[in-house]
Amino acid sequence: MPARGDHDARRRDVSEAVWQVLAAKGFGGLTLRAVATHMGSSTGLLTHYFPSKQALVRHALEIAQQHTAGRERFTSAGEGLPGLRAALLDVMPLTPQSTAMNRVWISFWDAALSDAELAEVELQRYERWRGMLRPHVDAAIRLGQLAGDPDDVDPDDIVATAAGFAHGIVVQAIFDPARFPAQRQIALVDGFIARLQR
Amino acid sequence: MPARGDHDARRRDVSEAVWQVLAAKGFGGLTLRAVATHMGSSTGLLTHYFPSKQALVRHALEIAQQHTAGRERFTSAGEGLPGLRAALLDVMPLTPQSTAMNRVWISFWDAALSDAELAEVELQRYERWRGMLRPHVDAAIRLGQLAGDPDDVDPDDIVATAAGFAHGIVVQAIFDPARFPAQRQIALVDGFIARLQR
């Protein structure tokens, strides 16, 4: 039993080190050597957990997804556009934690562009995220919150536009935190939502 | 004189190989070895041109900027919002050439996040790009094209929102060309512009 406990504790240490390396260097800087250095251990020990670079990247993806799923969320004041607003704020780099998370996912874009399997993972992640935004847009249409003729509104296009806007602000804010403090990011989301509104 | 011509021709070959590696593998996959393999030459020859990884990355940045500056542009049908529309379409991955260009710049985000000097380059690139969008937004305000009270409109916020929207659509389109064909990208830009309009 103690051996089992040691084993689990060691796995947690390894996972934590993988996350720290990801947050500092992104997927591009994720190597067995970097994780080993962070743990003060040998790369030999780590090959026990990760027999290949691919295995390391897969584990890193799981950890990044856990961090993303486990983050604090905004609560929405209502259905439709207020829900969409909260969902967009959920991805903004408003705190050091969400900045680290975004930094990791931006680096994953590059990794995914050089690897067909990872590109498919990223395509699916986007589909899932757009799928999470979609019910808010559907509710906004149903509740008559959107500007324009409801028959002319394509919910998929509103979702893609909102997802695009959010990620594009994320990238600008990550590179230029002085020009994009949390307060301005929130104001930009509010302005975007206001322009969708009738 | 012929020696000089040979020298220039070789430089062009090297630059072309750097661009091909960038387009295929991004900044993350840019190494002397990859460029040498692409040219069928030795890495030794390339160290003559690039004494360090930093020198290679700097040259790659110049080439990427030349390709970006030299790309075909949309002509605008008028001042203000039509000009903004054309400027946003200019960055969309509507052709194989602009897809390659965007793939390169997305990979640069990761490179820049791990390197303070490159992060400053990216911050300046964004400032320059927002600076190019700004006159269109100023004209739109002056011409009374924007929705809302002109005194409440912050041109910097409109510019950041437009830049964010465009890059966010770029990323989605790069990963999911089947869901984001050229025609849909153009429709999304048109929808975004329409929602800015009074």
Q: Are residues B52 and B102 in the same domain?
A: no
Task: Pick the last residue of a domain from B37, B68, B99.
Answer: B68
- Under a CB-based contact definition with an 8 Å cutoff, are residues B22 and B60 in contact? yes
Restricting to A residues 168-187, those with a Cβ less than 8 Å away from any Cβ of B are 168-169, 171-172, 174-176, 180, 184, 187
Residues of A (91-120) whose Cβ lies below 8 Å from B: 103, 106-107, 109-114, 119
Whether residue B82 sits in one domain with residue B168: yes
Q: Which residue of B has its CA nearest to A184?
A: B157
Q: Pick from A68, A101, A119: which residue ends a domain? A: A68
Chosen domain end from A23, A46, A68: A68
Do A22 and A85 fall into the same domain?
no
CB contact under 8 A, A191 and B157: yes
Token pair of B85 as six digits: 């529309």
At B111, which amino acid appears?
Answer: A
Say yes or no for a CB contact (<8 Å) between B169 and A176: no
Q: Does A129 touch chain B (CB under 8 A)?
A: no
Q: Do B95 and B175 fall within a single domain?
A: yes
Among chain B residues, the shortest Cα distance to A197 is held by: B195
Give the pLDDT confidence score for residue A1 in this predicted structure: 47
Domain identity same for A121 and A148: yes
Number of domains in chain B: 2
Q: How far is B8 from chain A (nearest CA, A)?
A: 31
Rg, Å, chain B Cα set? 20
B57 near B75, Cβ under 8 Å? no
Q: Chain A interface, mutation test: which of B53, B110, B180, most A Cβ atoms within 10 Å?
A: B110
The answer on B192 and B107 residing in a single domain is: yes
Structural domain containing residue B162: 73-196
Say if residue B151 is exposed, middle or buried (CB neighbours under 10 Å; 0-12, 13-18, 19+): exposed
Give the model's pLDDT for residue A8: 83
Percent of chain B with pLDDT over 90: 75
* Residues of chain A found within 8 Å of residue B29, distances taken between Cβ atoms: 114
CATH of the domain at B42: 1.10.10.60
Q: For each of chain A's 198 residues, which pLDDT tens digit applies? A: 456 678 888 889 999 999 999 998 899 889 999 999 999 999 998 999 999 989 999 999 999 999 999 888 898 878 999 999 999 999 999 999 999 999 999 999 999 998 899 999 999 999 999 999 999 999 999 999 998 887 888 999 999 999 999 999 999 999 999 999 999 999 999 999 999 997
**Strand, helix or coil for residue B197:** strand
Contact A137, A158 (CB under 8 A): yes
Of A122, A157, A168, the CB nearest to B168: A168
CATH number for A106:
1.10.357.10
pLDDT at B157: 97
Residues of A in contact with B160 (CB under 8 A): 169, 172, 180, 188
DSSP letter at B71 equals: S
**Per-residue confidence (pLDDT) for residue B121, from 0 to 100:** 95
Q: Is the pLDDT of residue B113 over 80?
A: yes
Q: What is the pLDDT of residue A45?
A: 87
Residue A142 C-alpha from the chain's centroid: 28
Average pLDDT, integer, range B148-174:
94
Which among A88, A146, A176 is the top mutation candidate for probing chain B, defined by the most B β-carbons within 10 Å of its own β-carbon? A176
Contact, A119 vs B172, CB < 8 A?
no
- Does B163 share its domain with B77? yes
Are B49 and B140 contained in the same domain? no
pLDDT at B6: 81
Q: Is residue A91 domain-shared with residue A164, that is, in the same domain?
A: yes
Same domain, B91 and B152: yes
Q: Dihedral through CA B3, CA B9, CA B11, CA B16, nearest 10? A: -170
The C-alpha of A194 sits at a distance from chain B's nearest C-alpha, in angstroms, of 10
Does residue B60 register a pLDDT over 50? yes
Contact B110 A169 (CB under 8 A): no
Contact A137, A155 (CB under 8 A): yes
Q: What is the pLDDT of residue B3?
A: 64
- Interhelix angle A116-142/A96-113, rounded to 10 degrees, is 130
pLDDT tens digit sequence for B9-30: 888 999 999 999 999 889 988 9
For residue range B117-158, list pLDDT tens digits in order. Answer: 999 999 999 999 999 999 999 999 999 999 888 788 899 999
Is there a single domain that holds both residue B46 and residue B80? no
* Most B-contacting residue of A57, A165, A170 (CB-CB within 10 A), to test interface: A165
User: Does residue B19 share a domain with residue B78?
Assistant: no
B169 vs A160: CB contact, 8 Å cut-off? Answer: yes
